[in-house]
Amino acid sequence: MTRHRVLIVGSLSPIAATALLMAIGFYAERVGGRLLTLSPLTFGITTASLSSVPFFITLFLAIRERQTRHLGWLGRLGLLFALVSLIVPMLMLRGTALVLIGMRHQAAHDIPAPLFQARDLNGKMQCLGDHRGEVVLVNVWATWCVHCLSEMPKLDRLFREHQNQGLMVFDLSDEDATIQRKGLTGVQVNYPLLTYDGRIPALYRYVALYPTTFVIDRRGILQPAISDHRSDKLESTVIDLLNRKP
């Protein structure tokens, strides 16, 4: 067994790296502690570093074995398995980068809202530019997001109550029309549901939290985005903007 320890440890590295990532995520979500006080960048780098440990253990064992005797093809195969385990921290770092980009997008305000064109579930092309002079909400969501699904009836009520005052709501998802329809079983909305079929700026594509609602006033200017699932805050913001003159 000692002769094949590089192969054994290396072959277990992808499983160990994935298990470490899941354990850290579970701890952060259920227990929290100091992990929840870390910035997304620090948390991402820390998690990626810890999930890289199985690879470095395998590498250490391979170096030691090569110093004492020739590293055979089984040892090299173990190193190859260990290299595969580096996919886990790389994905974690990619996810961290996307979160940071999403946080920057959500913090954007007092600038002209980037225009988009996107096809809705009925195949109609919807253009943000057609709604200048209205208050527009662009809600970024996903069918797997429980908060998104629970928020949609509240958005629909808000739309129905204020559309005659100049309120427009768009729901935007990177999922195709078929997946969106399946995910909305039992949920009825009267505003357009958009896909990524069209020209959609990165601002609306990448968010740090789901759902995130971008708020655009009658002048076409971005207001602070709302992503804390508080319908009362969103409603008061919408009413205030509707009462303002363009």
The pLDDT tens digits of the residues spanning 145-193 come to 888 999 999 999 999 999 999 999 999 999 999 999 999 888 889 999 9
Q: Which two tokens stand for residue 179?
A: 């997946």
At residue 162, the 3 state secondary structure works out as helix
The structure tokens 């527009």 sit at: 136
CATH number of 110-243: 3.40.30.10
Domain-wise residue ranges, the chain? 2-106, 110-243
pLDDT tens digits, 95-125 = 777 777 777 888 899 999 999 999 999 999 9
pTM value > 0.75: no
At residue 3, the 3 state secondary structure works out as helix
Q: Which of 116, 117, 127, 74 is nearest to 203 (CA)?
A: 116
- Specify the pLDDT at position 95: 77
